[in-house]
Structure 1
Amino acid sequence: MIAPMPPSLPSFPHDRFWPLPQYGEKSATSRRVGLEIEFSGLTEAQTAKIVTGRFGGDIRTQSPYEVEIENTEIGKVKIELDSAYAKADRNAVLDAGLDLARSVIPTEIVTQPLSQGQLGLMQSLCADLAKHGAQGSRTNLLRGFGMHINPEIAGQDTESIVPVMRAYALMEDWLREADPIDPSRRMMPFVDPYPSRLIDALARYGDLPKDEVFRIYLDLADGRNHGLDVLPVIVETADASLADRVRRNRQVKGRPAWHYRLPDCRIDEPDWSIAAEWNRWVLVERAACMPELVEELAEAWLKRRKELTSIRLEWWRAADEVIRGYDLFRDKP
């Protein structure tokens, strides 16, 4: 039986948003972040009314399942039923099926890139939505609802990208153990941890140029269904051959932002917050700014992989021993 996370491990604050660390080409305070929030219990029209009640704006109904709101306090907001069928040609049978499936197909709010200072406004919106009946992933075992955080990358150079990929890969099991995934999401196809072979390569080859690391990622990461989906960054920043390789195999749009896919959205639970989830990501970036921490994690991972008796389920414990030696849980940048 695996013991629980040591009680001395600091928790992620729910009442404040940690600032991003300063590194790379861009000012940390100027970096923006997009949010995608999934839930059920409210239609797109009901959600739009709640959004405009808090932020104002002009509602533009695109279809029964897609609404855009322009000129809000936080810019353009898109609200849609998160199903490819919602974009198909309308017919009565399809619409009836979509309406019946609302209990397991989420309504999704997608923001334009926000300033970090606007994240607190989105937390207030989540409280409004919950008050009016929004439901999260734990209300039904078949509800695979999540939240995606899309932080703008600090730069397009190797030093801004590769350390973040390595830090996330080596810390992912520890992060997952610190906040275990809801059972409903474990059964879904979009919460797979990075394959061990990919972590091996990222641990071993951290000094390679970003395009070489991207090639390794494309060879060893099986699709987009991971906590940190790097494909949009590859399309945006890699050389043409790599970007074309991604486009040929998948419909991926390039964007200069990490696609951090959180495995559940507990919007209706009082102990859940965007702040805590955001702070988990900031912790990854803080670690990426500490080369000695990432290298110590890499060495510990590779050492364990050589031990025939070691199993990945216990890797988070070894990672925890390393992480405790560094000042990551702090409120200052």
Structure 2
Amino acid sequence: MDPGFPLPERACRADGQSRLVGFELEFAGLSPDGAADAIQEVFGGEVRRESRFVNRVCDTAWGEFKVEVDARVLKERSYRSLLTQMGFNLEPETLDNLDEQVLRLASTVVPVEVVTPPVPVTEAGQIESLREALRRRLAQGTRAGLMYAFGLHLNPELPDLEVDTLRSTLQAYLLLLPWLKWRDDTDAVRRLTPFIQDFPAEYVRQVLRPGYRPDQHAFIRDFLAWNTTRNRSLDLLPLLTHLDRDQVRRALPDDPLTQARPTWHYRLPNCLVDDPDWRIARPWVDWLMVERLAGNGSLLEQLISDWLARGFSLTDQRWIQHVDRCLARSGR
């Protein structure tokens, strides 16, 4: 275990096996080929190129990494079909050149994304070696361009799937979200994009009301009543699909892309991969504070009570200061 990349308080699942975590890093300035080379340098494996927009690095110790340009129209190269429908039957070499030009144009706004396989939390600190390899190859992070709304996504597996774990973790996240934004200094452009929207105020009040103790069906029902989108800073749809695919599909019949997995999908942090002082461990430690608060029932209840009784707004600087003091007293 890397001491700079601490373990969760609950590092194992209920079956005694290590919890897993996946990472998704978004950046510009480096092609999918270059990103695949960085992965191979650090973790070995075999690079398999599917197109100019998608690569896989297979047979690493952790499994398969995926590198892709994060836009469906590019990954599927649907513009090729459009040209065919218009009567343009281009030679393969011309199509390859077209792909290259599309990739060059798209790179100003569409990130390249590295998606890791799930890795044991005891080994997760090794991800810093990949971050450094990407930096050396001049990958550009969130603040390298005015319109770079790039993020780092963390996908930590839950220690168990009990509804009380789901509820308490979500409550902790809602209470800490302004503090997390302050800690991460979430980029202004990213806040303006639709990708990390806040939860609706009505839903926040529902989840933080006294005595909120839903069963699993009610927890999923309440979430879907206000959140029929993945564009939340904490995306629950993969987890809820894992728990009850039918219930989610009834609410979202036109969402074929969400893959079921027993993880949170934490989308808030910036990806400052070009900053030599930045570490993935920083947002990881912040996420662990969410889990720590969720496991501290008395502090969680105190913060819910404070928020209700004192009339704080979760966007209020006073709330951030209050949370910071409470976490400090709890020995963060």
TM-score of the pair, normalised by structure 2: 0.86
User: CA offsets per residue over residues 191-233 of structure 1, 9 Å max, x none?
Assistant: 2222222221111153222321222222223622121111111
CA distance, structure 2, for counterparts of residue 121 and residue 311 of structure 1: 35
Question: Which residue is 2:10 aligned to?
Answer: 22
CA distance, structure 2, for counterparts of residue 193 and residue 317 of structure 1: 20
CA distance, structure 2, for counterparts of residue 33 and residue 221 of structure 1: 24
Aligned mate of 1:125, from 130, 134, 142: 130
Aligned mate of 1:221, from 210, 227, 230: 227
Question: Which residue is 1:11 aligned to?
Answer: none
Distance 1:197 1:317, change over 3 A: farther
1:40 counterpart = 2:28: yes
The answer to whether the Cα contact below 8 Å between 2:48 and 2:56 also exists between their aligned partners in 1 is yes
CA distance, structure 2, for counterparts of residue 232 and residue 164 of structure 1: 16
- Tell me the SS of whatever aligns to 2:173: helix
Question: Which residue is 1:49 aligned to?
Answer: 37
Question: Which residue is 2:77 aligned to?
Answer: 88
Shift of 1:123: 0.5
The answer to whether the Cα contact below 8 Å between 1:20 and 1:28 also exists between their aligned partners in 2 is no
Distance 1:326 1:243, change over 3 A: farther
Shift of 1:311: 7.4
After the TM superposition, which residues 140-151 of structure 1 pair with which residues of structure 2 at under 5 Å, given as runs? Answer: 140-151=145-156
Question: Which residue is 2:320 aligned to?
Answer: 316
Shift of 1:39: 0.8
Distance 1:169 1:24, change over 3 A: farther
Shift of 1:246: 3.5
Residue identity matched to 2:195: F
1:275 counterpart = 2:263: no
Aligned mate of 2:290, from 284, 287, 290: 284
User: CA offsets per residue over residues 41-68 of structure 1, 9 Å max, x none?
Assistant: 1111111112112211111111111011
CA distance, structure 2, for counterparts of residue 278 and residue 194 of structure 1: 21
User: How well do the aligned residues superpose, as a CA RMSD in angstroms?
Assistant: 2.3
The answer to whether the Cα contact below 8 Å between 1:236 and 1:243 also exists between their aligned partners in 2 is no
Unaligned runs of 5+ in 2: 81-94
Question: Which residue is 1:297 aligned to?
Answer: 303
The answer to whether the Cα contact below 8 Å between 1:235 and 1:246 also exists between their aligned partners in 2 is no
- Tell me the SS of whatever aligns to 2:59: strand
Distance 1:236 1:264, change over 3 A: same
Residue identity matched to 1:323: L
CA distance, structure 2, for counterparts of residue 28 and residue 185 of structure 1: 38
Shift of 1:94: 5.9
Question: Which residue is 1:165 aligned to?
Answer: 170
- Tell me the SS of whatever aligns to 2:196: coil
TM-score of the pair, normalised by structure 1: 0.86
After the TM superposition, which residues 59-208 of structure 1 pair with which residues of structure 2 at under 5 Å, given as runs? Answer: 59-86=47-74, 87-89=76-78, 90=80, 91=95, 93=98, 95-204=100-209, 205-208=211-214
Runs (4+) off by over 6 Å: none
CA distance, structure 2, for counterparts of residue 298 and residue 66 of structure 1: 45
Q: How many residues align?
A: 312
Residue identity matched to 1:132: R
